[in-house]
Amino acid sequence: MTLDAAGITLSALLIEPEHTAPRAVVVAVHGGGMTAGYFDGTAHPDQSLLLLGASLGYTVLAVDRPGYGQSAAALPEGQTLAEQTGLLRAALADFASRYPTGAGLFLLAHSFGGKLALCTAADPGETPRLLGLDISGCGHRYAAVPAANGDGKDTRRHWGPLRLYPPDTFRFCATVVAPMPLREASELGRWPELFPDIAPRVRVPVRLTFAEHEHWWHHGEEDLADLRARLNAAPRVQIDRQPDAGHNISLGWAARAYHLRALAFLEDCLTAR
């Protein structure tokens, strides 16, 4: 499907529950160098967040961020985080004007998408009711600063041990991987400077997950304590670790376990409301 984001067309994957109105909408936001297909089980159906979410009564909307998918031609150099935040808000408002959203929207985001989710929660504007955030593969202190050109040659940091992934993962991933736009890539190193201003303005529940083999971020106990302390306006901050997983959790064998935990957190958000 497509979404109108303030005049820019964003592509997205959409699945709705059968025979019932959605309890809420899970908005899946992919990371850098990926597309919305990251969330749809490229190598094994058990990996699909879309199928799982719909089976539990949720609409799942996986959005191609600005500079990816259909908007790549209109935004060949991509956008900064601030610009992407504005377009995502507009796209979600367009979606909510045309589709039922149940109790509201829940952002489930990976890596760079986690930065965008935090920015959106910190400055929600006209975003329809936001229930909470579930973020994987995104911290606030880099263990290694990504290259400013978006070059992702360090496969160990992205993937971890290859045994964590179903057979043919890398063959099927050809439809999921995409070049990281230059404007997005050039801003990668600024995240540790931006986060201290963004974090205190997030006022919804937040869950963060770090994979056992996460190598892009520092996630020792002191790092996580500082991360939690900076999210001081969030009514709840939960930090979990996902065993037997690398940075790209939703492409590995651990995908279903992670997605179930994320949707359980959404259930907690609904209960709290």
Residue 224: its pLDDT value, please? 97
Whether the pLDDT of residue 125 is over 90: the answer is no
pLDDT at position 212 is 96
Sole residue written with tokens 């790092």: 223
pTM of the model: 0.95
Rounded Cα gap, residues 30 and 22, in angstroms: 22
Instruction: List, edge to edge, every strand of the sheet that includes 8-15.
Output: 2-5, 8-15, 59-63, 25-29, 105-110, 130-136, 206-213, 237-246
Share of the chain above pLDDT 90, in %: 84
pLDDT in tens, 159-197: 889 899 988 888 877 789 999 999 999 999 999 999 999
Residue tagged 């869950």 (tokens): 207
**Mean confidence (pLDDT) of the chain:** 94
Burial of 57 per CB tally in 10 Å (0-12, 13-18, 19+): middle
CATH architecture of 2-272: 3-Layer(aba) Sandwich (3.40)
Under the banding of pLDDT at 50, 70 and 90, the label for residue 148 is low
Name the residue ranges covered by the structural domains of the chain: 2-272
Which residue has better confidence, 148 or 75?
Answer: 75
Asked whether the predicted pLDDT for residue 99 surpasses 80, the reply is: yes
Residue 171, H or E segment: helix 169-172
Q: In which band, very low, low, confident or very high, does the pLDDT at 259 lie, cut at 50, 70 and 90?
A: very high
Q: Lowest-confidence range among 173-177, 208-212, 244-248?
A: 173-177
pLDDT at 152: 52
Q: What is the mean pLDDT of residues 23-35?
A: 97
Give dist(CA 87, CA 237) in Å, integer. 26
pLDDT in tens, 224-240: 999 999 999 999 999 99
